[in-house]
A and B are shown apart, each in its own frame.
Chain A
Amino acid sequence: MTTAAPPVDFDQFEEQTWKTRLAYVTRLLLRDRGGTLGFILFILIVLTALLAPVVSPQDPLEQNLRAAKQPPAWEEGGSWEQPLGTDTLGRDMLSRIIYGTRVSLTVGFFGVLIAGTLGMVAGLTAGYLGGRVDSVIMGVVNVFLAIPYLVFVVVVAAILGRNLINVILIFGITDSPIFARVTRGEVLRIRESGYVESATSAGAGTARILFDHILPNLIGPLITLATFEMSAMIFYEAGLSFLGLSVPPSIPSWGNMLQVGRQYLTIYPWIATWPGVAIAITALSFNLLGDWLRDVLDPRLRRSRN
């Protein structure tokens, strides 16, 4: 038995411009409080990264040993010139946190871009062609997943040197198997779906099946995965920095700051606290956003929420 669809105002379909779409998505966003919070934080974080030179009060690299290890402004001995205090070399914590956003977001964004592109192409090929191609591609993927990731990173960092591009490449490559797996799974599911069968029965060719039917239905789950992976990569990058395997200490990154702060955790706790807070807020915003996207991009969930 079928359930009757709720009454629909068909006027809303009259014209589908980017304006009506945007209004629709905004409505969906405002209905989800977590999503709204995640989205606002996300926008703030991105703006911070883009406008770092404008919004940061000081040069993040400028050392001032006389003002070293100064606590946050509201504590005794603090000064509003360095609202979040200074580190062991007297550099302004706030400015360093702001600049650190750039490293984290760059790694997260480009890492996911590379991983997503590689993984999607591999997963799509494996899932759609099937058979031997599938076995070979998924074999490679499984080998990749079997390599201990940290060892791989240490080796590559040792050979290629420590810089941002290498970190991005390593993340992009090591994370692509996850995208490949998810893509392949989705392609297998979509390929067996009623609408692909009916499109095939209406004479649609391979290109049409791929681009009109499989890809659009794939994008939703992949965007959701990308959001979560981005937050994971920001974590990993901080971890690598903490181990001294990511960007050199001359570049302010949250992991580097955390690593310095660790040594002074009991005496000057703010040095480690602020980068920790920044990492936590960023990860939280991406995860909230990802949860919301998962709900919105799945048409079935969207309908049940309407």
Chain B
Amino acid sequence: MKPILQVRDLITRFYSVDGVVHAINGVTFDLYASETLAVVGESGSGKSVTMMSLVGLIPMPPGKVEGGQALLEKGDGHLDLLSLSDDQLRHVRGGQIGFIFQDPISSLNPTMTIGQQIAESMTEHLGLSQAEARSSTIKLLRNVGIPDAEKRYNAYPHHFSGGMRQRVMIAIAVACEPKIVIADEPTTALDVTVQAQIVDLVKRLQDQMGMAVAWITHDLGVVAGIADRVLVMYGGTVVESARVDDLYEDPHHPYTIGLLKAIPRLDESGNDETEKLTSIEGTPPDLYQELTLCPFAPRCDYVFDRCWQQLPPLIQVDDQHSAACFYDVKRGEPRDDIE
């Protein structure tokens, strides 16, 4: 399979008054056509900033993308998103890469009708006339599960519930049938029953349109249900990347192992009623410092002297499975194959 988006050594920093925030420190990953890639990690691990950096959505200044490549497949060749002008990027956003945000309540303009907000990007990117955009929008509204679409075209956001608004947001994201949709915790602000509907909706649209979805989340429960592959982020780096089954069954990075131990599981709690959920001690790394050692070292159970001296590179540990750790947790000893 050929990746449609290849991100290499992405570096993003924020020059704030208090100092330089090293938000993204060399992130590398691939996104394949029509797959779902879950990007997981705690707050501040760089999940969103990574995706925002690709299409110029981080506020600049203070933010600055300082290195790396983001090759978007285009025809036979590639387009490096990080070297595009603002105007070129504008056409990538919405046209080729769609976004779904976390909070559907504040993501819709209260003074524009639902329909106008969806039709806007169709006239912008597909060059449709107002009338064409209108009929496509109504079709799309129906497709995202909004009944009575003709009438609701003229409704305003405050007439809609949170779940309905998120459907509208999804409609905006897929309006131009982009190749990639980046879903930034789209279910966090919704209640559980609605979450499931939204997840199903995105899956269905993905099957229909054949787009790749990068699903940013901190909910590993959601990940298991939807993802093909998982990218685990920590301290602005990718610490582990694997197919979803491999990650759950055979995690290699101590951080991933810690995360998985912290999930309550119905199927395993029966044996031992006194079993407690574990948590990962300590706090996330201070990103005001440049990363010169493993960001997870202070919280790691397997830490040894090398971890304090060098930033571990992401190395392949299995087929389509890589981790950034000097320690081989399977064999119980430090790796000797890392330069």
Report whether A204 and B151 are in contact in the complex, using a CB–CB cutoff of 8 Å.
Answer: no
- Measured between alpha carbons, how far is A1 from B175 in the docked complex, in Å? 27
Chain-B contact segment, one of A41-49, A150-158, A208-216? A208-216
Q: List 10 A-B contacts (CB under 8 A).
A: A5-B161, A198-B101, A198-B107, A201-B55, A202-B120, A202-B124, A202-B172, A203-B93, A216-B109, A217-B110
One digit per residue, 1 when the CB lies within 8 angstroms of any chain B CB and 0 when it does not, for chain A 154-178 equals 0000000000000000000000000
Report whether B158 and A5 are in contact in the complex, using a CB–CB cutoff of 8 Å.
Answer: yes
Q: Which residues of B contact A302 (CB under 8 A)?
A: 158
Q: Which residues of A contact B124 (CB under 8 A)?
A: 202-205, 208
- Measured between alpha carbons, how far is A303 from B159 in the docked complex, in Å? 9
Chain-B contact segment, one of A7-15, A27-35, A116-124, A237-245? A7-15
Give the residue of A3, A11, A13, A194 whose beta carbon is less than 8 angstroms from that of B101: A194
- Measured between alpha carbons, how far is A11 from B152 in the docked complex, in Å? 9
Report whether A4 and B161 are in contact in the complex, using a CB–CB cutoff of 8 Å.
Answer: yes
Report whether A194 and B93 are in contact in the complex, using a CB–CB cutoff of 8 Å.
Answer: no
The reply on B293 being an interface residue by CB < 8 A is no
- Measured between alpha carbons, how far is A16 from B113 in the docked complex, in Å? 11
Binding site for A on B (CB under 8 A): 55, 57, 87, 90-95, 98-99, 101, 103, 105-113, 117, 120-121, 124-125, 148, 151-156, 158-164, 169, 172-173, 175, 189-191, 194
What is the CB-to-nearest-CB distance from B192 to chain A, in angstroms, rounded to a whole number? 10
Give the residue of B87, B125, B159 whose beta carbon is less than 8 angstroms from that of A8: B159
Report whether B121 and A194 are in contact in the complex, using a CB–CB cutoff of 8 Å.
Answer: no
The residue among A4, A5, A216, A300 with the most chain B CB atoms within 10 A of its own CB is A5
What is the CB-to-nearest-CB distance from A24 to chain B, in angstroms, rounded to a whole number? 11
Contact status of A299 and B111, CB under 8 A, knowing A5-B161, A14-B154, A193-B106? yes
Report whether A194 and B103 are in contact in the complex, using a CB–CB cutoff of 8 Å.
Answer: yes
Give the residue of A1, A10, A194, A208 whose beta carbon is less than 8 angstroms from that of B120: A208
The reply on A197 being an interface residue by CB < 8 A is yes
- Measured between alpha carbons, how far is A47 from B138 in the docked complex, in Å? 46
Report whether B121 and A202 are in contact in the complex, using a CB–CB cutoff of 8 Å.
Answer: yes
* Given A205-B90, A216-B109, 20 further pairs, Cβ under 8 A: A2-B190, A5-B159, A5-B161, A11-B151, A13-B113, A194-B101, A194-B105, A194-B107, A195-B108, A195-B110, A198-B101, A198-B107, A198-B108, A199-B120, A202-B120, A203-B91, A212-B109, A212-B120, A213-B112, A299-B158
The residue among B93, B109, B148, B161 with the most chain A CB atoms within 10 A of its own CB is B109
Q: Which residues of A contact B108 (CB under 8 A)?
A: 194-195, 198
Binding site for B on A (CB under 8 A): 1-5, 8, 10-11, 13-16, 193-195, 197-205, 208, 212-213, 216-217, 299-300, 302-303
Q: Which residues of B contact A4 (CB under 8 A)?
A: 161
- Measured between alpha carbons, how far is A213 from B158 in the docked complex, in Å? 16
Q: Which residues of B contact A1 (CB under 8 A)?
A: 191
By beta carbon, the residue of chain B nearest A299 is B110
- Measured between alpha carbons, how far is A302 from B110 in the docked complex, in Å? 11
Contact status of A198 and B169, CB under 8 A, knowing A203-B95, A205-B90? yes
Contact status of A203 and B121, CB under 8 A, knowing A2-B194, A198-B107? yes
Q: Which 7 A-B pairs have the closest CB atoms?
A: A2-B162, A203-B94, A194-B106, A202-B94, A201-B99, A13-B154, A216-B111
Give the residue of A195, A198, A204, A299 whose beta carbon is less than 8 angstroms from that of B156: A299
- Measured between alpha carbons, how far is A193 from B112 in the docked complex, in Å? 14
Report whether A10 and B151 are in contact in the complex, using a CB–CB cutoff of 8 Å.
Answer: yes
Q: Which residues of B contact A8 (CB under 8 A)?
A: 155, 159
By beta carbon, the residue of chain A nearest B52 is A201
- Measured between alpha carbons, how far is A216 from B57 in the docked complex, in Å? 23
Q: Which residues of B contact A11 (CB under 8 A)?
A: 151
What is the CB-to-nearest-CB distance from A7 to chain B, in angstroms, rounded to a whole number? 10
What is the CB-to-nearest-CB distance from A201 to chain B, in angstroms, rounded to a whole number? 4
By beta carbon, the residue of chain B nearest A5 is B161
Report whether A212 and B91 are in contact in the complex, using a CB–CB cutoff of 8 Å.
Answer: no
Give the residue of A3, A10, A203, A217 whose beta carbon is less than 8 angstroms from that of B109: A217
Report whether A200 and B112 are in contact in the complex, using a CB–CB cutoff of 8 Å.
Answer: no
Q: Which residues of A contact B55 (CB under 8 A)?
A: 201
By beta carbon, the residue of chain B nearest A13 is B154
- Measured between alpha carbons, how far is A233 from B190 in the docked complex, in Å? 48
Give the residue of B101, B112, B153, B189 whose beta carbon is less than 8 angstroms from that of A212: B112
Contact status of A201 and B156, CB under 8 A, knowing A10-B148, A213-B109? no
- Measured between alpha carbons, how far is A213 from B90 in the docked complex, in Å? 16
- Measured between alpha carbons, how far is A129 from B337 in the docked complex, in Å? 52
What is the CB-to-nearest-CB distance from A265 to chain B, in angstroms, rounded to a whole number? 50
By beta carbon, the residue of chain B nearest A217 is B111
Q: Which residues of B contact A202 (CB under 8 A)?
A: 93-94, 98-99, 120-121, 124, 172-173, 175
